[in-house]
Amino acid sequence: MKSTKKTNLVTPVCVALWPKLTIPTTKFAKPGTKGSYEVQIVLDPSNEKHAPFIDRVNELYEEAIAEMAMLEKKPKIKRCDPPIRPLTDKEGNETGLFALRAKATAGGTRDDGTDWSFKPRGFTPKGEPYTGQVNHNAKLALAITARPFYVASVGAGLTLALDAYQVYEAGVGGRETATEFGFEVDPEAEAEGEQGEERPF
C-alpha cells in the first residue's frame, strides 16, 4: 500500500556515486518495465547544508512508519530500511558519511496495454536544460518525491522517487578525446586521403 501523502524535496549539492541518469539500468528491471534511472548521493552530517536535510528525511521516515502502522492497523509494523543509510568502505566499515538512493522507473506497460515512458529532466545551475553525461563523482542536486509505503514482505518505509536533477559538475567519465587516449595531436596534419584522393580499396 502507498500513501496518498507526498512530500517534494530538493537535496543539497552532493557527490554522486555511479549515477544512471542518461541511460536506464535494466539489471534488476521488473517484468513489464524498461528499467530504471538511479542515483546515489553522499551526505555529510558535518556539512551545515547536509545535516538539516538528513534530519528532514529521517523525520519523514518516522512519520511514514506511523502512518502505515495506523492504516494497516499494525502498532508494531515491520520496518523497511530507511532511505538514508551509513556509507561503508570496501571492508564494510562505516565512514561517517551517509548515502541516499533515488530512482525512477523508465517506463512500462499499463493495464490497458498502452506503453508509457519517463526520464528525469536534467538542468544546469542556470536552470537551462542539461543533456550531457553524468558520471561518477558528479556534483548534483536532486528533486525527489518522498512517499510512505507498506509491502508485507519488506515492511513500511519511505520511497524516494527521482523527478529531476541539477548538474554542477559532470564528474569523471571514460576517455573520449584523442589526447585522453594518449595520442599526440597535430592540428596542422592532414589524414591520408583527406583531400579527395582515391583509396586503393
| Burial zone of 117 (CB within 10 Å; 0-12 exposed, 13-18 middle, 19+ buried) | exposed
Using DSSP bridges, classify how beta strands 121-123 and 7-10 pair: parallel, antiparallel or unpaired: unpaired
pLDDT, tens digit, for every residue of 65-95? 999 999 999 999 999 999 999 999 999 999 9
DSSP reduced 3-state for 50: helix
Nearest to 18 by CA among 115, 135, 105, 98: 135
Nearest to 174 by CA among 32, 9, 15, 18: 18
Evaluate if pTM is beyond 0.75: yes
- Residue with the three cell numbers 556534483: 139
DSSP reduced 3-state for 196: coil
Helix, strand, coil fractions of the chain, as percent rounded to 5: 10, 40, 45
Say how far residue 191 (Cα) sits from the centre of its chain. Answer: 42
Which portions of the chain are predicted below pLDDT 50? Answer: 175, 191-201
φ, ψ of residue 68 to 5 degrees: the values are -65, -35
pLDDT of residue 192: 47
pLDDT, tens digit, for every residue of 166-187? 999 998 765 455 555 566 666 6
pLDDT of residue 185: 61
pLDDT of residue 190: 54
The domains of the chain, with CATH numbers, are 7-169 (2.40.50.140)
pLDDT of residue 195: 46
Task: Name the DSSP class of 68.
Answer: H
Lookup: cell for 85: 543509510
